[in-house]
Amino acid sequence: ELDKVNETLSRVEQVKKFTILPKKLYEEDGEVTPTMKVKRKYVNEAFKDLIEGMYKGKGGE
């Protein structure tokens, strides 16, 4: 599926790496807004190790 989507995107828009978070994000926990938009600052801090691991070649696809 990802390959199909990437074919429709320019090179800079393509998904190169991703990680599935170990938990669902909830508004009650301050992780998303009432309209379910991810609060990036929170997620970047809470999952810092996972994110850094993706760029060190650990985890992600």
Predicted pLDDT of residue 61 = 54
Q: Following DSSP, what letter does each residue of 31-47 receive, concatenated? A: SB-TT--B-HHHHHHHT
| pTM beyond 0.85 | no
Task: Render pLDDT for 3-21 as a digit per residue (tens, 0 to 9).
Answer: 999 999 999 999 998 889 9
Helix (H) or strand (E) holding 2: helix 2-7
pLDDT of 30 strictly over 90:
yes
Predicted pLDDT of residue 24 = 95
pLDDT of 58 strictly over 60:
no
Task: Render pLDDT for 36-52 as a digit per residue (tens, 0 to 9).
Answer: 999 999 999 999 999 99
